[in-house]
Amino acid sequence: MERKPVIQLTDIYKRFYIGTPNELQVLNGINLTVEEGEFVAVVGQSGSGKSTLMNIIGALDRPTEGQYHLDGVDMIAARDGELSKIRNRKIGFVFQTYNLISKTNALKNVEMPMLYAGVSGRKRVERAKELLTMVEMDERMHHLPEELSGGQKQRVAIARAMANDPAIILADEPTGALDSATGRKVMDLFHKLHKEQGKTIVLITHSPELAEETDRLITIKDGNITGERSGRGGQ
Amino acid sequence: MILYENIRLALFSLKANKMRALLTMLGIIIGISSVIAIMTVGNSMTTSVSESMESMGANNITVGLQQKEDEEESTEEGLQFGGPGRMKTAQDDDGFTYEMLENYCDTYGDYIMAISASESVGSGQIVDGSLYANVNVTGASLGYFIANSIDLAAGQFFQEREFDDGVMVALISDLAADNLFDGDDEAAVGSQIQVNVDDKYYNFTVIGVYEYDQSASGFSSTSTKDTTTSMYIPLKAAKELTHTDNYLQFTVVTASGVDSEEFAETTEDFFATYYRNNRDFEPSAFSMSSMVEEMTSMLGTITMAISVIAGIALLVGGIGVMNIMLVSITERTREIGTRKALGAPNSSIRTQFIVESIVICLIGGIIGIILGVALGAALANMLGTAASPSVSSIILSLTFSMAIGVFFGYYPANKAAKMDPIEALRYE
């Protein structure tokens, strides 16, 4: 089956402190295509440039050079206001430190991206409850983040990432702050989203074991893609 | 919908930091409440002053003497004494004579309802054994009672004969009657009293008791028993006691329908003809209504000036709000980063923090208004005037506190909106 590309990165360069003696080239011409429904792991040590790559994929940052198309949209040409709309509709972020809004309960946290998308109140609550049920957090939806464990918080964060049914889920070390048992549950959730809903997921991790579970492993070193092979999930 | 969410969020974050929110609001509360309180007191005072002046008669014209500005004298002597001329005191000879007044009445009879002149004999005491009452002995013309709206509780006013002959009769206040006749006003009428003024004793027959208007004399620290009230005697009797013939000042009660301000000028011109040859003095006449205007505008200016000072407190409060908003966005840097990553446009981040700042200022403003109205009422009550909180100042304060919220919230909110999401997400 011909699958359409969701992420298309062509000759991406990223340089910092341009024009100063400390000029730093972090990405050296990255070419990467992620197709719809793929579960891709990006592996690399700290300082390898994987965070910068994630920021560019997540539309939080722009490359210095190169072409980037996300779900058919030219991200280089998009203005800042359009980028926040794209982040809202097409990208679901999952962070290592969860980043839930501390003063509002789980339900309101899941509702938030829909609020910015202009979804009406009743639909928002309906969808948020549905998502929380999916991540098995429906019984704790009225709890504040501080009343939840790390694994529970991350599950709420995943539900939040799914709120506007994005084209990709971008997970940055989602199990980094969790013990292996709860980390396992979170990973299982990603697999469930991938298999049952056909979500395109980009997982950034430094754990080789977790990366092995995905369809494709991409290794980054010194701003270059140095390795690309199929994982166990892809076989 | 987003606005509602923003208000809800703002209330949440206020609830989470109650103490801080209260301290932040304190500046706004103090500022708004003092502005409202001052405006209320100012308003009440203006109302009560103009009311009491009008009760004295807005149609009254006060005629007196003022020193002539003699240019030669003032330049020469002014240089010598280092001041603008020498102050002179008008003597009895400088005063308006009875003939002048008669002429005046004959000329402008249609415009005049009554002429009120008085002569103070001095303060003294009515003594009756161990009973006493403090009084100011004042000689009054018939018009005096009209001009000052004095009402009788018992007895009668002076008759024309008593005025003309200067009969030793007196009107005492009901307060004095309380002290001397145990409150029996009827018993007072017809009785003989002895008054001690400057160690001289005078005998009078009481022919009437008038109602003492306490509010007209302002507040008094002495007890009712020691309060000094006026005892009125016929003007001519007083003139004889003080050995004077003329009047340094009198009040004209104009007939209804007369423009008192215009008539004041006519009056001044009329008496000016008599004073062409007087070296030092010239007549001056001014109407009560122009005085009311003057007083009102003066009180208004004072109120404005104090309000401006209170407004500075409000400004300081606003800076406090800005300060706390800056602290708040720094604390919530990660939240801002998260919101941006999840697709919040800069405008909605900005709105969120401006709304929060407005909410702080509005709550502070509302508390301030309640406190201010209460404080203003208490102060007005203390000053013995009816409180009249001005609705316009309340609306103004509400608008103003919202404006403070927007003004002092904009800079922090804009700072939040312009944060780099990557930096914000990385913030520890």
- String of DSSP letters for A45-86: -TTSSHHHHHHHHTTSS--SEEEEEETTEETTT--HHHHHHH
When comparing pLDDT for A94 and A20, which is higher? A94
Nearest-angstrom CA–CA distance, A176 and A171 = 11
Which of B342, B346, B348, B349 is most worth mutating to test chain A (most A CB atoms within 10 A of its CB)?
B342
Measured CA to CA, the distance from residue A100 to residue B335 in angstroms comes to 8
DSSP bridge partners of A227: A219
* CA dist., res. B89 & res. B109, Å (int): 31
With bands split at pLDDT 50, 70 and 90, how would you rate the model's confidence at B215?
Answer: low
pLDDT value for B420: 92
Question: What integer is the mean pLDDT of B108-131?
Answer: 82
A chain contacts of residue B2, beta-carbon cutoff 8 Å? 115-116
A152: pLDDT strictly greater than 70? yes
| pLDDT value for B78 | 41
Tens digit of each residue's pLDDT (9 = 90 or more) over B237-275: 888 888 888 888 888 888 777 777 788 888 888 888 888
With cut-offs at 50, 70 and 90, classify the pLDDT of residue B9.
confident
Please determine, for residue B74, whether its predicted confidence score (pLDDT) is greater than 60.
no
CA separation for the pair A160, A148 (Å, rounded): 15
Which residue in chain B is spatially nearest to A169 when comparing CA positions? B342
Asked whether residue B188 carries a pLDDT value surpassing 50, the answer given is yes
Give the rounded distance of the alpha carbon of B92 from its chain centre.
33
User: Which residue from A102, A71, A99 is spatially nearest to A87, judged by alpha carbons?
Assistant: A71
Select the residue of B334, B337, B342 nearest A116 (Cβ to Cβ).
Answer: B342
Q: Which H or E element spans position A12?
A: strand A5-16
**β-bridge pairing B112-128 and B192-197:** antiparallel
Residue B226 or B82, more confident: B226
Nearest Cα to Cα of residue B144 among B13, B250, B11, B263: B250
Which residue, B425, B159, B280, is CA-closest to A55? Answer: B425
Would you say residue B427 has pLDDT above 90? Answer: no
Residue B264 half-sphere exposure toward CB, CA atoms < 13 A: 20
Residue B153 pLDDT > 90: no
Backbone angles phi, psi at B171, to 5 degrees: -110, 125
In this predicted structure, the answer to whether residue B189 has a pLDDT above a threshold of 80 is: yes
From residue A158, alpha-carbon distances to A139, A186, A195, B218 in Å are: 16, 9, 15, 76
pLDDT at B183 over 80: no
Q: Give the bridge partners for A15, in sequence order.
A: A25
Q: How many CB pairs under 8 A join A and B?
A: 68
pLDDT for the residue numbered B55: 67
Residues 6+ apart with CB under 8 A from B107: B270
Given an 8 Å threshold on Cβ–Cβ distance, is B343 in contact with A87?
yes
Question: What is the per-residue pLDDT across A86-129, written as a single tens digit (0 to 9) for each?
Answer: 999 999 999 999 999 988 899 999 999 999 998 988 999 999 99
| ipTM of model | 0.93
Of residues A55, A103, A121, nearest to B16 (C-beta): A103
Instruction: Kindly report the number of other CB atoms within 10 A of residue B396's CB atom.
Output: 15
Cβ distance B343 to A81 less than 8 Å, yes or no, reads: no
Give residue A207's pLDDT.
85
Q: What is the pLDDT of residue B57?
A: 65
pLDDT in tens, B157-179: 888 777 777 788 888 888 888 88
Residue B353, Cα to own-chain centre: how many angstroms? 44
Residue with tokens 């940055």: A172
Handedness of CA A139, A142, A148, A154 (dihedral sign): positive
Mean pLDDT of A11-23: 91
Of B1, B5, B345, the CB nearest to A84: B345
* CA angle B169–B150–B294, rounded 5-degree value: 130
Q: Report the range of poorest mean pLDDT among A202-216, B263-277, B362-376.
A: B263-277
Q: Using the predicted structure, report yes or no on whether residue B79 has a pLDDT greater than 60.
A: no
Q: Give CA–CA dist A112/A126, Å, rounded.
A: 13
* Least confident interval from A37-51, A61-75, B126-140, B218-232: B218-232
Beta strands in B211-328 (DSSP E): 229-234, 250-254, 281-287
Q: Per-residue pLDDT averaged across B122-129, rounded?
A: 83
**In terms of CA atoms, which chain A residue is nearest residue B422?**
A60
- Asked if A87 and B342 come within 8 Å (Cβ–Cβ), the reply is yes
Lowest-pLDDT range, A36-50, A197-211, B194-208? B194-208
pLDDT class of B83 with cuts at 50, 70, 90: very low
Query: Positive or negative, the Cα torsion across B308, B309, B311, B315?
Result: positive
Of residues B9 and A138, more confidence is placed in A138
Q: Which helix (H) or strand (E) holds B29?
A: helix B18-55
DSSP B96: B
What is the pLDDT of chain B when averaged over all its residues? Answer: 82
Low-confidence winner among A34-43, A181-190, B264-273 (lowest mean pLDDT):
B264-273
Chain Cα centroid distance, residue B426: 62
SS3 B230: strand
- Among B4-8, B71-75, B372-376, the range with the most confident prediction by mean pLDDT is B372-376
Q: Work out whether strand A24-35 and strand A216-221 pair parallel, antiparallel, or are unpaired.
A: unpaired
Cα–Cα dist B338/A109, whole Å = 11
Task: Report the interhelical angle of B260-272 vs B288-331 (nearest 10°).
Answer: 130
Amino acid type, A149: S
Confidence of residue A75 (pLDDT cuts 50, 70, 90): very high
Between CA B20 and CA A189 the distance in angstroms is: 41
- Give the pLDDT confidence score for residue B254 in this predicted structure: 81
From the list A104, A113, A149, the residue with the least C-alpha distance to A131 is A113
CB contact set of B295 (below 8 Å; sequence gap of 6+): B46, B49, B50, B53
For the cut 70, the answer to whether the pLDDT of residue B87 exceeds it is no
Pairwise CB contact (< 8 Å): B337 & A113? no
Distance, CA of B193 to CA of B209 (rounded, Å)? 13
pTM: 0.69
Within 8 A of A55 by CB-CB distance, chain B residues are 422
